Amino acid sequence: MKISTTLMGLFVISAGLPALLHAQPNPLIQQFGQTQRELQFQKPRLLNLSTNMEAPELYPGENADVGPQRILRLKPRKTYFEVIADSQCMYSDNVYLSEDKKVGGALFINTIQAALAPEAYAWGPGQFAPMLGFRSQWFNYAENVNLSSLDFNAQTAFINGRYQAGNWQFYAACDLTRLLDQPGYNEIYRECMPTLGFQRFFPVNDKLMFIVSPQVDYHFTDSQTNNTAGSAVNNRFDASLNLSLSYLITPKLIAQPFYRFQYSRYPDFSDGALPANSRDDLVNTFGGSLAYFFNKYLAVRVFTVYEINHSSYASAFSYHKFDAGGGLSLDLRF
């Protein structure tokens, strides 16, 4: 199997804080959203999309004489379930996501995910892969009296489907998420997010690939603790464009620089202090990751991300943010 096929497989996946002033954005919701945006770039995955491998020529011109020869391989047992465990530690220089109150801190994110994920099956000229599952994430900041009230848990039920034909992949998804405070686990926010998008792969050679991925989604939200501004204050539409390069340094080491642009519109946003008005955010994200795969199950990574957000609503909602960290992932299929 050519390395470019392996590279393409990398991307087949791929509320309230009372202590803050009214003019500050909600860091729990924004931190959760930022983490989900970056997830596909921080954790590339190696998938074997083909069992059809050409044997090398025994002598120059053999294929011209007898045609390409195939290696006979036993058909592997199909898998239907996937379990992922991931642990990540990162430092952020702007935990509150605000230019006026810039505080640094370390954040630990631990994730457990279980899903019904049967292997892709042939459908027309391509392959279709459905997935249905549940994911739980714990966001915990390092011991700091200023950050102790920021710890929260995110629980997400999700369903998605991906269709790939050649260098094109199309996908649709729907996530149902709720955020809960810690340690009481009281619900403070919930959202339903349908998503549509596609990816276009541009192989440069056996080690380098360029990927373009536009996406649109809508967040139907309910903020339980924001009674002044209204429960649906965080409803928003997102349109984004992801650009990334994937370079296979060695068969187990992959580097991936990326850029993401996102436009977000909040149709009836209010922070409780200023009157309700449409809010438009422009988010530019620059980053890169380096991942090493010990085997097809276990991988370690390091990453850096720099994000700039400009908001039309109020200066308090604009920010610059730099993150850096690492993580360890275990991915099991059976």
Q: How far is CA 278 from CA 20, 273, 308, in A?
A: 22, 15, 20
User: Does 224 have pLDDT greater than 70?
Assistant: no
Q: What is the average pLDDT value for the chain, to the nearest integer?
A: 80
DSSP codes joined into one string, 26-46: -HHHHHHHHHHHHHHHHS---
DSSP codes joined into one string, 78-118: P--EEEEEEEEEEEES-TT--SSS---EEEEEEEEEEEE-P
CA 45 to chain centre: 12
DSSP codes joined into one string, 46-76: --------BPPPSSTTHHHHH---B---PPP
**Helix residue spans in the chain (DSSP H):** 3-9, 27-42, 62-66
**Higher-confidence residue: 15 or 211?**
211
User: Does 117 have pLDDT greater than 60?
Assistant: yes
**Higher-confidence residue: 84 or 21?**
84
For range 190-197, the mean pLDDT: 96
For range 316-323, the mean pLDDT: 89
For range 209-225, the mean pLDDT: 89
**Higher-confidence residue: 32 or 26?**
32
User: What pLDDT is attached to residue 263?
Assistant: 97
Give the side-chain half-sphere CA count within 13 A for 62: 10
User: What pLDDT is attached to residue 277?
Assistant: 81
User: Does 162 have pLDDT greater than 90?
Assistant: yes
User: What pLDDT is attached to residue 35?
Assistant: 73
